[in-house]
Amino acid sequence: MLNLQQVHQSESSPALFLLHNSFLSPHGNSSIPIRSWTVSGRRKPNGGHVKSISNNIRASVTKTTTEKAIKVKGIVTVKMTVGGILSNLGLTRALDDITDLARKSMLIELVSSEVDPKTGKEKETIKDYAEWVSQKDQEVKYECEFMVPASFGEIGAVLVQNEHHKEAFFKDIVFNGLPGGPFTIPCDSWVHSKFDNPDKRIFFANKSYLPSQTPNGLKKMREEELTKVRGNGEGERKTFERIYDYDVYNDLGEPDKSDELARPVIGGPVLPYPRRCRTGRERCIKDPLSESRSNDMYVPRDEAFSEVKQMTFSVKTLRSVLHALVPSLETSLIDTDLGFPYFTAIDSMFNEGIEMPKIKKEGWLFNGLLPRLVKAIADGGEELLLFETPELLDRDKFSWLKDEEFSRQTLAGLNPCSIKLVKEWPLKSKLDPKIYGAPESLITTELVELQIKGMMSVHEAMKQKKLFILDYHDMFLPYVNKVREIEGTTLYGSRTLFFLTEDSTLRPIAIELTRPPNGNKPQWREVFTPSRCNATSSWLWKLAKAHVTAHDSGYHQLVSHWLRTHCATEPYIIAANRQLSAMHPIYRLLFPHFRYTMEINALARQSLINAGGIIESSFTPGKYAIEISSVIYGQEWRFDMEGLPADLVRRGLAVEDPTAKHGLKLIIEDYPFANDGLDLWDALKTWISDYVNHYYPKPELIESDPELQEWWTEVRTKGHADKKDEPWWPVLKTPNDLIFILTTIIWVTSAHHAAVNFGQYHYAGYFPNRPTIARTNMPVEDPTEQQFKRFLERPEATLLECFPSQIQATKVMAVLDVLSNHSPDEEYLGGELEPSWAEDPIINAAFERFNGRLKELEGIIDAKNADLNLRNRAGAGVVPYELLKPFSSPGVTGMGVPNSISI
């Protein structure tokens, strides 16, 4: 063993660290460092979420005392990575081999929870270099050894310094030899190379502490860690960094590339929006307010998808679709305006496929795509894009034509969040009539009463809460003329009215489409109604439904999906990492629900919501998509209405009733999204209540928790800065306040997202059911004689021309297939006990109750779907409503509620 002076020298002078004579030393000298200890980390709330700390925490072994010490052995598990320290690629490989042979792979230090009773300062850390000992499958083991004095106290954290030239993915560190048995610090985190950043990483132990309860030995480290992760708001962020900061959406356009790709800054007083993660890239030349784009969007390192995950991981597959499949499709289908000539041509995508040039496979990035979408043709030449038959089409090929299915999907389809109770009659626009024309709707009392065949008056229908509406009139009307300037698309303001029948189903009774005045053209509007007797009216009704479903598809993707889940959640994640320590119990509760969201959002900015991306090129309302979502955010988004109960009450779909289940009475009793959602909301709220009340037994602990208060303040004032002065933000003074806030956030990241995401291929994979865009005007809007004649002669062709083009449809279908997919490593709500929760018996028991309740819900949902009296979720050819069934197997299953927005 080296003497203490040698240990000190080896720490500051790597050149003095000698190697075995067979490798380097001509004199046969060899030396092995003494083993010692220290701890750090911030990755998983289970004990390992990782943040950097200042490297001024030194730990040299200088004690000469003879007090008894315990020998503790540490086993560090590092996962094999693509391009990481264990890769065979890169010029630094040889240097890292030398480092391994020199037994200086990783420096591990143990941190005591206690301070020195004599000095009142943090105790010196105990450290040792972890040495490579074995490799099995995709994991490599390193070993370190420490002599821990009896007076060291409880281990509170571990510090890690990666001596390699590349980052490493740490799984966990297990310590054996302690009196209480094995002690594990989970990491599940990237540890940067010290050559990129000399600061050590810290992994806290599993025990959670409020700020006021922090052990004295960890207080300084807790504060320094949070300071580091906030950064200074300057410079361009590097890949290995873990800096969380805010910025506006100013990187969606590419003005330097083309004026057509210029986009306004989204976020601010003109176009309010939630904030994204700051990347700090250079500004554009033509528009200094916009940030330049990059192929690699920065996200803090531990927010990025781990390369060690399954190769079928959905986002890796999505990258393949966007960067390999879509370009190949665009090469094959050169005519971007080409539609489908017959419905049989649409059907052929599911049974014959589309021939296309052989795709350039990007190594392991492409592997997950092959089994489901792309099939190699036997002769090895061309390849085949062959789509799986969507559930809707498989159960009933003609269901998309039925009014019953059109109505059912407003309650049990992809977008069950838009249907509203009609609360005012007559229907009337709130837009300026001088600009947009007459505000009164053409859906009159007489028309409604005719459609419901005299069953009751409109007054009685209103009183009995029988009239419901999909209202995209005022929302889209200001953009109609702008969108119509885009070649190959069109837009209307629309209203769709439904009548609630005695069997709790909706029946559509009228669709109104409106075009505002434009130059010399006056306002145009017309009402379309179902017709079984008049062939012309029947086809016009089908076309009107196509326009409305395109509007609903756009709203679903831009608002119900992107804005209300992905976009609104990113500020919660940034604020939590900036203000809540990894050892904070609320951080540890939230962490599983933030997994990979920032990475998928960055990918969306890169290829989905960007100028010319999938959304703009294939969805209503084209290049104005994100701008419209900003307008809707400004007008409609309220945090206090994002939870399910409040949302239902706001839309008039429920009323508060203390005697009813969940405290709410549903206006439409058979409303699958609400029925299953309220069961899940209550289970979630009970679990969160148990958790919060355990850590905050007294209300005053909430207001006196500085980290918690700063987190909630920053969510409001920085993350959602454009709404910081709104009076509806919940206050945070009591445990009940915190329970409501946390239940709302976790509901959005889990159940709400699952309800609007994982059924996308089931319902929209057959695009006639949910066209994403309408390309042509109604044939009765200012038609030429020739156009109207063609409609009369071939109405089917007119409908097909209105639908998305072949390239639009196939691109969207490929993307939706991936977005609807559960990866093999998916983490489901209530499915996995976090290590930090297992640490506390009370929290452990509460989670087990939560898990048990969710398993019960699985059976309850199955029973509902077998009840033929529930016509909105059961019946011949009906897709059962399973989107809120908590658990799922991998693949496109149309069920399963993951913890987080990870795809």
What is the DSSP secondary-structure string of 703-762?
HT-HHHHHHHHHIIIIITGGGTT-TTSPP--SHHHHHHHHHHHHHIIIIIHHHHHTTHHH
For residue 161 the two structure tokens come to: 């310094």
CA 173, CA 162: separation in Å to the nearest integer?
Answer: 14
Q: SS3 of 894, please?
A: coil
Radius of gyration of the chain (CA): 30
User: b/e map of 508-544 (b: 16 or more CB within 10 Å)?
Assistant: bbbbbbbbbeeeeeeebbbbbbbeeeeeeeebbbbbb
Residue 100, C-beta contacts closer than 8 angstroms, at least 6 positions apart: 131, 132
Q: SS3 of 96, please?
A: helix
For residue 789 the two structure tokens come to: 């004649």
Q: What is the DSSP letter of 442?
A: S
CA 489, CA 776: separation in Å to the nearest integer?
Answer: 6
For residue 53 the two structure tokens come to: 């700390």
Q: Is the dihedral of CA 193, 194, 198, 202 positive or negative?
A: positive
168-176 and 183-191 strand pairing:
antiparallel
CB 748 within 8 A of CB 775: no
* Residue among 185, 614, 773, 903 flagged as catalytic: 903
* Residue among 566, 593, 720, 822 flagged as catalytic: 566
CB 758 within 8 A of CB 390: no
Bond from prior residue into 735 cis (ω within 30 degrees of 0)? no
For residue 564 the two structure tokens come to: 């209300």
* Residue among 164, 753, 762, 822 flagged as catalytic: 753
Number of neighbours of residue 413 by Cβ within 10 angstroms: 29
For residue 380 the two structure tokens come to: 């090895």
Residue 585, φ and ψ in degrees, nearest 5: -60, -30
CA 201, CA 50: separation in Å to the nearest integer?
Answer: 6
- Determine whether 753 is an active site residue: yes
Q: Residue 168's Cα: distance from chain center in Å?
A: 25
Amino acid at 36: S
Residue 804, C-beta contacts closer than 8 angstroms, at least 6 positions apart: 339, 618, 767, 771, 772, 773, 775, 812
Q: What is the DSSP letter of 649?
A: H
- Determine whether 903 is an active site residue: yes
CA-nearest of 883, 805, 747 to 415 is: 883
CA 130, CA 102: separation in Å to the nearest integer?
Answer: 11
Residue 901, φ and ψ in degrees, nearest 5: -85, 85
- Determine whether 757 is an active site residue: yes
* Residue among 49, 473, 561, 762 flagged as catalytic: 561
69-79 and 106-112 strand pairing:
unpaired
Q: What is the DSSP letter of 45?
A: T
* Residue among 162, 197, 757, 821 flagged as catalytic: 757
- Determine whether 354 is an active site residue: no
Determine whether 495 is exposed, middle or buried from the number of CB atoms within 10 Å of its CB (0-12, 13-18, 19+): buried
CA-nearest of 339, 96, 111 to 216 is: 111
CA 681, CA 685: separation in Å to the nearest integer?
Answer: 6
CA 609, CA 558: separation in Å to the nearest integer?
Answer: 9
Q: What is the DSSP letter of 822?
A: B
Full 3-state SS string of 297-324: CCCCHHHCCCCCCCCCCHHHHHHHHHHH
Distances (CA, A) of 753 to 35, 855, 883: 48, 20, 10
Partner residues linked to 148 by β-bridges: 70
Active site (catalytic) residues: 561, 566, 753, 757, 903
